[in-house]
């Protein structure tokens, strides 16, 4: 079995080995007719030739006529005009960059048609067609009609101009800013291919903690090169902007969004950007959060700041993605409530080219959170989702944690905003409130590692984000099945065990890190490893602020007797979660401070259940290791060895989390570990002194003792 380094991602195009299928494919697929030449259509044609030639093990060529087995590749209007084929019935539900893939009879010939309303739609259809063959789907009959449910499907790269990546755990920045625009890495094109294959159509090039230099002519010329590479693949570039840029690079004395000189500066800067990048997508802004400058520095609202930028972008079709991740430790209010309190009064005050970008949960990309209360509460402002693909709080690129179940848990959550069925997914796709502008973003896990994402299985998180961004109704297991088949093999002896590993991995991580609704108990600054004892610095950056363990119990009371953050949710959710006995146990300690001896549904006390969950998390990782070892002969040695070693590290980290957290919490509960429990091999003091100085993904990795 040939070794692979993971660079090809899910676009491996390995030859089909199923004898019956390969015979059908070879008989049915003969050649390709491209209706029109353009950069995007050339990309689609080349991808189809490349993919089919490798998958079928024979040369596939283009043709000018149509015969049996021809694949017609073209936009709807061109196919109808040149061949008098009525495709209207196939396109009745297609919108935007949607596509159709059909098998039909034309002038007595059995042919295939891959078509879209746009050329990008044709490209998306091409990748879907290849995916069918990669995953061994029979092509008879064939009638596929797909449209994206969400318009803007964006990767947010938290990449800095110095080549580092904040919270990125797969090496340095993919963008070689120093050598751009002169040196154009072939990885840029391969990155675009991968994104187009799963329907991603936007990339924010720089960190939300932005550097104003990204808006200078020098760096705009660098961004232009990336935009030019991405354009045939349907990917627009966006930039994070620093709100104080007019002062820092514009020479102004203020960045007040109501100041005429500031308004003029932004209009001039936007005009300059579009002169360089005509299809520039727009801005993302982190303002008045974690020390970043913003409109509130001048007594203005978040809407004032967003609308000032939106007004400048509006003539060019650009958008503003204004982040709702705002909190202030000077405000003596539960951090989970602050974004809601700040943005709800502004509902309906934003321009129509503004999206409020909301994290999936109210704290910060935790292993498990309830959905953010802004979803369903802002009814006159379009909200876009922000997921984190990079595993900032989930073991970095060391741990195998498939995020499909996490994404789906949030997207499928019912907000009850307009009664039963008001899911988060329906809010961000615009269908619940008839929003014309829709979007979803994922913080990228991509870097300079040869396999792109650090961990081979982390590629699956990039993949599942793209597929759900296109259609959030797809299932996490369904997408995992696709990814495994395309990335590893269609072999059933591999498919089933690997799928089981992926589908149980997120719950395993929650159990060995933050079970029962615990959250934000990681080490300070780099977030690598446990730190439930962290209590120094601003309160909302400590762990003790969130778990509030004491001799009487553990958990954050967010009911009416506590911070009352629960009141920000719809009444049916309030009623369910307000009572300890009806609150889902996987979020119990998120909403309640619970006594150590409370009896859980299992019959165990809370303390015993906490021990059980941590132990179960460790055991789940051990089972994953055993499963992976059992399929050694089904995976190439290079990737097998890499994953095997990573799982070994993950098991040790799971034990570390379990031991450190339970020893610390035991110092409050004063209760013994249950019988049969694997006791920690070190003392609590040992774990408190454990240090990691150079963890990837942070500006200053040195942590003082």
Of 509, 516, 551, 550, the C-alpha closest to 530 is 509
Write the CATH number of the domain with boundaries 19-146: 3.30.379.10
Please give the angle made by the CA atoms of 505, 511 and 515, to the nearest 5 degrees. Answer: 135
Per CATH, the number for 510-556+593-689 is 3.90.1330.10
Query: Cβ of 49: how many Cβ atoms within 10 Å?
Result: 17
**Which pLDDT does position 704 carry in this prediction?**
41
Encode pLDDT of 483-492 as tens digits: 999 999 999 9
Distance CA(665)–CA(533), nearest Å, equals 9
HSE (side-chain half, CA atoms, 13 Å) at 450:
6
H or E, element range at 155:
strand 152-156
What confidence category does residue 670 fall into, taking pLDDT thresholds of 50, 70 and 90?
A: very high
How do strand 70-75 and strand 109-116 relate by DSSP bridges? parallel
In the predicted model, is pLDDT for residue 705 greater than 80? no
Q: Is the dihedral of CA 333, 334, 339, 345 positive or negative?
A: negative
The backbone region for 421, taken as left when phi is positive above 0, alpha when psi lies in -120 to 50, beta otherwise, is: left
Name the CA dihedral angle for 154, 315, 292, 544, rounded to a multiple of 10 degrees: -40
Q: How many other CB atoms are found less than 10 A from the CB of residue 561?
A: 10
pTM of the model: 0.97
pLDDT digits (tens, 9 = 90+) for 70-92: 999 999 999 999 998 999 999 99
Known catalytic residues? Answer: 290, 364, 392
Q: Give the whole-angstrom CA distance, residue 426 versus residue 568.
A: 19
Tell me which of 62-66, 144-148, 326-330, 555-559 is least confident: 326-330
| pLDDT interval class at 532 (50, 70, 90) | very high
Segment 466-471 shows an average pLDDT of 98
Cis peptide leading into 141, omega within 30 of 0? Answer: yes
Q: For residue 137, is the peptide bond before it cis, meaning its omega torsion is within 30 degrees of 0?
A: no
Rounded-to-integer distance, Cα 223 and Cα 200, Å: 18
Q: What are 492's two structure tokens?
A: 């059933």
Q: Residue 553: helix, strand or coil by DSSP?
A: strand
Helices (H), 397-491: 404-411, 424-428, 459-470, 476-487
Among candidate residues 427, 456, 460, the one with its CA nearest the CA of residue 442? 460
DSSP 161-225: TTS-BTT--SSS-SS-TTTTTT---HHHHHHHHHHHHTT--EEE-S-SS--GGGGSHHHHHHHHH
CB count, 10 Å around CB of 291? 6
Domain boundaries, the chain: 19-146, 152-487, 510-556+593-689
**What is the overall mean pLDDT for the chain?**
96
Under CATH, domain 152-487 is a member of which superfamily? Glycosidases (3.20.20.80)
What 3-state DSSP class applies to 624? helix
- For the cut 60, the answer to whether the pLDDT of residue 702 exceeds it is no
Type and span of the H or E element at 70: strand 70-75
183: CB partners within 8 A, 6+ apart: 176
- Beta-carbon neighbour count of residue 344 at 10 Å? 14
274-312 pLDDT, tens digit per residue, is 999 999 999 999 999 999 999 999 999 999 999 999 999
Token readout for 311 is 């007004």
**Four-CA torsion 392, 398, 400, 406, nearest 10 degrees:** 0
Q: What are phi and psi of 2, to 5 degrees?
A: -70, 135
């Amino acid at each position: 079995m040939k070794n692979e380094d993971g660079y090809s991602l899910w676009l491996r195009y390995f030859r089909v080995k199923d004898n019956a299928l390969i015979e059908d494919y070879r008989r049915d697929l003969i050649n390709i007719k491209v209706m029109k030449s353009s950069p995007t259509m050339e990309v689609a044609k080349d991808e189809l030739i490349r993919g089919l030639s490798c998958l079928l093990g024979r040369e596939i060529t283009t043709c000018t006529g149509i015969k049996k087995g021809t694949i017609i590749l073209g936009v709807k209007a061109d196919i109808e005009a040149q061949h008098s084929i009525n495709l209207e019935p196939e396109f009745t539900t297609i919108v935007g960059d949607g596509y159709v893939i059909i098998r039909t009879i034309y002038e007595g010939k059995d042919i295939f048609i891959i078509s879209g309303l746009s050329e990008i739609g044709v490209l998306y259809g091409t990748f879907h067609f290849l995916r069918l063959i990669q995953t061994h789907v029979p092509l008879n009959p064939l009638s596929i009609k797909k449209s994206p449910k969400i318009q803007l499907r964006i990767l947010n790269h938290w990449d800095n101009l110095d080549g580092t990546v904040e919270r990125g755990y797969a090496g340095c920045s993919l963008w070689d800013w120093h050598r751009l625009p002169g040196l154009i890495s072939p990885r840029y094109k391969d990155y675009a291919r991968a994104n187009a294959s799963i329907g991603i159509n936007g990339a924010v090039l720089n960190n939300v903690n932005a550097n104003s230099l990204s808006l200078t002519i020098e760096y705009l010329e660098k961004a232009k090169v990336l935009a030019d590479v991405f354009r045939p693949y349907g990917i627009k570039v966006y930039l994070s902007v620093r709100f104080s840029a007019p002062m820092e690079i514009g020479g102004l004395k203020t960045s007040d969004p109501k100041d005429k000189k500031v308004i003029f500066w932004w209009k001039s800067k936007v005009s300059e950007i579009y002169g360089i990048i005509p299809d520039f997508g727009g801005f993302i802004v982190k303002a008045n959060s974690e020390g970043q400058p913003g409109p509130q520095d001048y007594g203005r609202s978040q809407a004032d700041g967003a609308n000032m930028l939106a007004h400048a972008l509006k003539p060019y079709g650009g958008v503003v993605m204004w982040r709702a991740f705002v909190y202030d430790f000077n405000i003596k209010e539960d951090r989970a409530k602050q974004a809601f309190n700040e943005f709800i009064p502004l509902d309906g005050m934003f321009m129509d080219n503004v999206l409020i970008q909301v994290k999936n949960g109210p704290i910060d990309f935790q292993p498990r959170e309830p959905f953010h209360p802004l979803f369903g509460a802002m009814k006159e402002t379009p909200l876009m989702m922000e997921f984190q693909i990079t595993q900032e709080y989930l073991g970095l690129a060391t741990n195998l944690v498939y995020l499909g179940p996490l994404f789906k848990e949030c997207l499928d959550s019912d907000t009850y905003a307009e009664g039963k069925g008001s899911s988060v997914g329906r809010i961000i796709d615009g269908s619940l409130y008839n929003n014309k502008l829709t979007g979803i973003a994922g913080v990228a896990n991509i870097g300079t590692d040869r396999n792109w994402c650090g961990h081979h299985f982390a590629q699956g998180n990039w993949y599942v984000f793209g597929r759900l961004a296109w259609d959030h109704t797809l299932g996490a297991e369904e997408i995992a099945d696709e990814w495994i088949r395309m990335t590893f093999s269609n072999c059933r002896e591999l498919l089933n065990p690997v799928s089981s590993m992926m589908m149980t991995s997120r719950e395993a991580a929650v159990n060995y890190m933050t079970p029962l609704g615990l959250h934000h108990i990681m080490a300070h600054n780099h977030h690598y490893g446990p730190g439930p004892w962290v209590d120094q610095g601003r309160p909302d950056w400590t762990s003790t602020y969130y778990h509030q363990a004491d001799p009487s119990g553990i958990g954050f009371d967010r009911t009416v007797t506590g911070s009352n953050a629960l009141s920000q949710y719809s009444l049916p959710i309030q009623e369910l979660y307000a009572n300890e006995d009806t609150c889902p146990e996987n979020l119990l300690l998120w909403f309640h401070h619970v006594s150590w001896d409370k009896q859980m549904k299992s019959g165990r006390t809370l303390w015993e259940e906490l021990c059980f969950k941590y132990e179960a998390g460790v055991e789940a990782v051990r089972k994953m290791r055993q499963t992976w070892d059992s399929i050694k002969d089904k995976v190439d040695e290079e990737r097998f060895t890499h994953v095997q070693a990573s799982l070994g590290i993950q098991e040790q980290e799971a034990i570390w989390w379990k031991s450190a957290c339970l020893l610390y919490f035991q110092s409050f509960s004063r209760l013994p570990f249950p019988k049969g429990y694997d006791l920690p091999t070190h003392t609590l003091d040992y774990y408190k002194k454990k240090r990691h100085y150079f963890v990837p993904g942070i500006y200053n990795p040195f942590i003082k003792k």
